[in-house]
C-alpha cells in the first residue's frame, strides 16, 4: 500500500501550487537530471515553482487501490508459502520416520527367518529329548519288572527253604524213630540215588547228609538271587536317574522352544504393527503432499494476480510517461510513503522474506565462515529499492564484491551516526552527493558482484560498526 508521504511541508505547498493543474496531488519521488527541472542544492525535491512544469504519477487513491490489492495478494502468497513450508516440513518429518521404519523393517525381516529356524531347531531338539526320555523310561520299566521278578524269586526261594527245612526236620525225627527208608520222598528231596541211600551207615547219617545238601543248595540259590537283586536295584536306580535327567532335559527344551516361539511371534507381530504404522505414515505423507500441491497452486494464483496488478501498474506508468513525453514534461513516479511512525523505513515496498540473516555464516561463494554484515532479502531483478531514512549519498558505483552499490549517510540522531548500504544493484538511480529522502527509489535489485543470484543485500552501520538491520527496520 502506498503510505503517507514524507514530504510534509513541501508536498502541501506543491499541492497548493498545482491545484488547478492536478486536483489530486500524488506523493513525490525524487528525480535527478530531468530536463527543465529545477532542483535546489540542499533539497532532493524539485522547487515548488518548477513543479507545475512536471507530470506527476497516478492519483493517490488509484495508486493506493492497486497497492492494497497487490499487498493483499502478497499476504495471500506469504500465507500459502508458510503453509507450503509447513507441509514440506511435516512431509520431511514423515519421510524421516518412513526411512527409519524401513530400516527397522529390513532388520526385523532379516531376523524372522533366523527366529523361525531356531524354533524348528528347538522342535528337533525337543523331539530328540522326548525320544531319549521314552527310551530311558522303557529301560526303567524293564529294570523294575526284572527287579520285581527277582524279589518274587527270592520270596519263593525263602518259602522253599522253609519248607525244605521243615521236611528235613521231619525226616530227621523219623530217622531217629527208624522210619526212614529208600522212600521216594528221600530220593526227591536229596536228589540221591537209591544206591547211595542204601549205602548210608545209619539213618542219622542219612538225615545229616540230606540236611546239609538241601540247605547248601537253597542258600546258594537264595544268595544268587539276592546278588541279582542288589545289582538290579543299582541298575534300576541308575536308570531312574537317567530318566530324571531326560525329563529335566525335555522340560528345558520345552522352555527353550516356548521362548523361541515367543521371540518369533513377537518379531512377526512387530513387523505387522510396523506395516500398519507405515501405511498410516504413507497416508499422512499423501495428505501433506496434497496440501503442498494446494499451497503451490495458491502461490501460483497469488503470483498471477500480483503479476496482473504489476502489469496494470506498469501500464499506468507507461501511460503517464507517454503523456509526459507528449506534453514535453518530465515524469515523476510515485514515492514510496514512509512506513508508520518509526525512524526507519523498509528497503522494499512490500512484505519481505529473509533469505539470509545478519551474522556469522558460511559464505555461499567463498565457502568459509565470515561475518555477513547485512541481511539478504528475496527480490527479483529489477525490483525497486528504497532509502530507509533521509540522508546524503556517500557513494554510488561499483564497490568490490558488493557490485553496484549505493551508500547513504544519514547523519547523527539518537546519539549515534548512521549509514546504510544497498549492494548488488542492477541499476543505481541516485548519484554521489545527492540528498535522498526516506521512501525514495535509489536503485533496482540485481546480482552484480560476488553473489549466487539476485537479491537485496541491505546493511545498517552504527558509529562505524555493522549492526543487525532487523530490529531497526522491523523486517
The CATH code for residues 58-328 is: 1.10.287.2610
Q: Render the burial of 319-346: b for 16+ CB within 10 Å, e for the rest.
A: ebeeebeeeebbbbbbbbbbbeeeebbb
**pLDDT value of residue 71:** 83
**pLDDT value of residue 202:** 53
233 vs 442: which has the higher pLDDT: 442
Q: How many helices (H) and strands (E) does the chain have?
A: 6, 15
Specify the CATH architecture of the domain 338-475: Distorted Sandwich (2.70)
The CA–CA distances, whole Å, from 228 to 217, 220, 419 equal 17, 12, 120
What's the pLDDT tens digit per position in 24-36? 323 333 333 333 3
Cα dihedral 399, 403, 404, 405, rounded to 10, equals -50
pTM for the full predicted model: 0.40
**pLDDT value of residue 114:** 92
What's the pLDDT tens digit per position in 348-399? 988 888 988 888 877 666 666 778 889 999 999 999 999 999 999 999 999 9
Q: Is the pLDDT confidence value at 204 over 80?
A: no
Kindly give the pairing relationship between strand 369-372 and strand 359-362: antiparallel
Domain boundaries, the chain: 1-54, 58-328, 338-475
> φ, ψ for residue 460 (rounded to 5)?
-125, 130
SS3 347: coil
What's the pLDDT tens digit per position in 67-85? 788 888 888 888 988 888 8
What's the pLDDT tens digit per position in 86-115? 888 888 888 888 889 889 989 999 999 998
Q: What is the DSSP string of 232-260?
A: HHHHHHHHHHHHHHHHHHHHHHHHHHHHH
Cα dihedral 133, 136, 138, 141, rounded to 10, equals -120
- pLDDT, averaged across the chain: 75
Neighbours of 212 (CB within 10 A): 12
Task: Please tell me the distance from the alpha carbon of residue 311 to that of residue 316, in angstroms, as a whole number.
Answer: 8
Q: Is the pLDDT confidence value at 15 over 80?
A: no
Amino acid at each position: 500500500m502506498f503510505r503517507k508521504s514524507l514530504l510534509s511541508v513541501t508536498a502541501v505547498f506543491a499541492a497548493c501550487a498545482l491545484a488547478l493543474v492536478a486536483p489530486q496531488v500524488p506523493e513525490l519521488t525524487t528525480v535527478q537530471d530531468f530536463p527543465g527541472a529545477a532542483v535546489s542544492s540542499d533539497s532532493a525535491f524539485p522547487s515548488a515553482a518548477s513543479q507545475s512544469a512536471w507530470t506527476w504519477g497516478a492519483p493517490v487513491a488509484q495508486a493506493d487501490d492497486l497497492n492494497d490489492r497487490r499487498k493483499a495478494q502478497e499476504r495471500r502468497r506469504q500465507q500459502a508459502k508458510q503453509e507450503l513450508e509447513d507441509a514440506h516440513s511435516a512431509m520431511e518429518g514423515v519421510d524421516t520416520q518412513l526411512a527409519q521404519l524401513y530400516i527397522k523393517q529390513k532388520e526385523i525381516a532379516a531376523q524372522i527367518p533366523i527366529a523361525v529356524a531356531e524354533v524348528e531347531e528347538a522342535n528337533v531338539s525337543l523331539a530328540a529329548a522326548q525320544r531319549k526320555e521314552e527310551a530311558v523310561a522303557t529301560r526303567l520299566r524293564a529294570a523294575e519288572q526284572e527287579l520285581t521278578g527277582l524279589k518274587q524269586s527270592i520270596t519263593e526261594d525263602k518259602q522253599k527253604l522253609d519248607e525244605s527245612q521243615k521236611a528235613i526236620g521231619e525226616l530227621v525225627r523219623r530217622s531217629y524213630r527208624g522210619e526212614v527208608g529208600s522212600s521216594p520222598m528221600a530220593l526227591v528231596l536229596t536228589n540221591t540215588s537209591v544206591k547211595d541211600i542204601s549205602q548210608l551207615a545209619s539213618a542219622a547219617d542219612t538225615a545229616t547228609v540230606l540236611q546239609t545238601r538241601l540247605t547248601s543248595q537253597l542258600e546258594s540259590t537264595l544268595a544268587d538271587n539276592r546278588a541279582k537283586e542288589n545289582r538290579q536295584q543299582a541298575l534300576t536306580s541308575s536308570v531312574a536317574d537317567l530318566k530324571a535327567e531326560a525329563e529335566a532335559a525335555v522340560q528345558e527344551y520345552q522352555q527353550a522352544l516356548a521362548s523361541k516361539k515367543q521371540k518369533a511371534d513377537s518379531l512377526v507381530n512387530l513387523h505387522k504393527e510396523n506395516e500398519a504404522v507405515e501405511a498410516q505414515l504413507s497416508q499422512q505423507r499423501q495428505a501433506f503432499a496434497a496440501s503442498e500441491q494446494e499451497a503451490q497452486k495458491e502461490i501460483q494464483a497469488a503470483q498471477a494476480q500480483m503479476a496482473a496488478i504489476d502489469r496494470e501498474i506498469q501500464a499506468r506508468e507507461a501511460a503517464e510517461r507517454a503523456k509526459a513525453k507528449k506534453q514535453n514534461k518530465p515524469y515523476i513516479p510515485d514515492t514510496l510513503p514512509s512506513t508508520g511512525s518509526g525512524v526507519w523505513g523498509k528497503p522494499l515496498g512490500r512484505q519481505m522474506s529473509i533469505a539470509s540473516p545478519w551474522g556469522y555464516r558460511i559464505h555461499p561463494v567463498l565457502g568459509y565462515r565470515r561475518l555477513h554484515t547485512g541481511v539478504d532479502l528475496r527480490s527479483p531483478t529489477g525490483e525497486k529499492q528504497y532509502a530507509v531514512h533521509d540522508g546524503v549519498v556517500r557513494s554510488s558505483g561499483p564497490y568490490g564484491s558488493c557490485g553496484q552499490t549505493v551508500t547513504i549517510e544519514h547523519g547523527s540522531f539518537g546519539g549515534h551516526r548512521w549509514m546504510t548500504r544497498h549492494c548488488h544493484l542492477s541499476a543505481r538511480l541516485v548519484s554521489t552527493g545527492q540528498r535522498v529522502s526516506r521512501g525514495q527509489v535509489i536503485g533496482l535489485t540485481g546480482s552484480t558482484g560476488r553473489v549466487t543470484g539476485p537479491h537485496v543485500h541491505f546493511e545498517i552501520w552504527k558509529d562505524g560498526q555493522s549492526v543487525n538491520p532487523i530490529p531497526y527496520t522491523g523486517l
